[in-house]
């Protein structure tokens, strides 16, 4: 029976598995290419994108991850995972890093600044609220977060975030030529393109599981509430009302 895979090279993979568990779904850690054969969908968590890329190279994961995407299986990238899924990334460290690709967008790494400039913001999420119920907003947790500067015609924008006026943006030179594209000083922070979902923030660090539920329903049959691609592991779902934020990890 298939389960949801969570790439477990580095970062907040345990928090994603815990969020899935609260929905009665089993998540399994993925560290080797052959382990992808046993899962129907995959979450690429937040963490340090360069470190994750180096570990993925070491384990020869990139070919298998790219094949997983091209097969049309649902993949969700959060923060560093979003960078992995983007077709293009700017503001990278010297030498750059490999990307899985598939998501027709340009992402700027660490757009919102350094670790100490991490923040939380209420995001308008009409699509999420329409599909999953609950409030019209979602409390986004941004930790050294990227932002989406450009999207292709097939990409659906799910959330935008105002650019905080008191933030000193990282890699400013990389985004100056994109400023005219930022609508009313907002940047895109959540998108969907077919089987791919990307969020610049960390839903796994809150008790609101609506993004996880939304992702699960991207798999065929899950929308009806009964599918062989999910495995009940016990536990009850939490209320979709305002929930406390889980302590933030340090991403270096």
Q: Which residues are catalytic?
A: 79, 202, 204
Q: What is the DSSP string of 116-150?
A: GG-EEEEEE-HHHHHHH-S-SEEEEEESS--EEEE
Mapping DSSP to helix (H, G, I), strand (E, B) and coil, where does residue 100 land?
Answer: coil
Torsion sign across C-alpha atoms 209, 36, 109, 106: negative
CB contact at 8 A, 113 and 170: yes
CB contact at 8 A, 62 and 32: no
Phi first, then psi, for residue 244 (nearest 5°) are: -65, 150
Neighbours of 46 (CB within 10 A): 34
Rounded distance between C-alpha atoms, residue 41 and residue 222, angstroms: 12
Maximum pairwise Cα distance, the chain: 50
Residues near 208 by Cβ (< 8 Å), separated by ≥ 6?
134, 138, 139, 238, 240, 243
């Amino acid at each position: 029976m298939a389960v949801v895979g969570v790439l477990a090279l580095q970062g907040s993979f345990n928090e994603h598995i815990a969020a899935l568990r609260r929905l009665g779904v089993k998540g399994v850690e993925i560290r080797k290419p052959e382990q992808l054969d046993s899962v129907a969908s995959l979450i690429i968590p937040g963490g340090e994108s360069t470190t994750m890329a180096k570990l993925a190279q070491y384990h020869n994961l990139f070919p298998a991850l790219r094949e997983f995407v091209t097969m049309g299986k649902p993949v969700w990238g959060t923060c560093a995972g979003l960078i992995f899924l983007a077709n293009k990334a700017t503001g990278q460290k010297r030498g750059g890093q490999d990307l899985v690709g598939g998501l027709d967008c340009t992402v700027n790494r660490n757009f919102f600044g350094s670790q100490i400039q991490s923040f939380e913001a209420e995001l308008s999420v009409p699509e999420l609220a329409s599909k999953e119920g609950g409030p019209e907003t979602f409390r986004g947790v941004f930790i050294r977060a990227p932002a989406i500067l450009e999207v292709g015609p097939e990409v659906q924008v799910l959330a935008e975030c105002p650019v905080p006026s008191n933030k000193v943006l990282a890699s400013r030179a990389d985004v100056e030529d994109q400023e005219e594209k930022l609508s009313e000083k907002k940047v895109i922070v959540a998108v969907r393109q077919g089987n791919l979902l990307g969020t610049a923030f960390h839903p796994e660090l809150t008790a609101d599981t609506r993004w996880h539920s939304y992702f699960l329903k991207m798999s065929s049959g899950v929308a009806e509430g009964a599918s062989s691609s999910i495995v009940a592991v016990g536990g009850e779902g939490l209320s979709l009302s305002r929930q406390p934020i889980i302590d933030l990890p340090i991403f270096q």
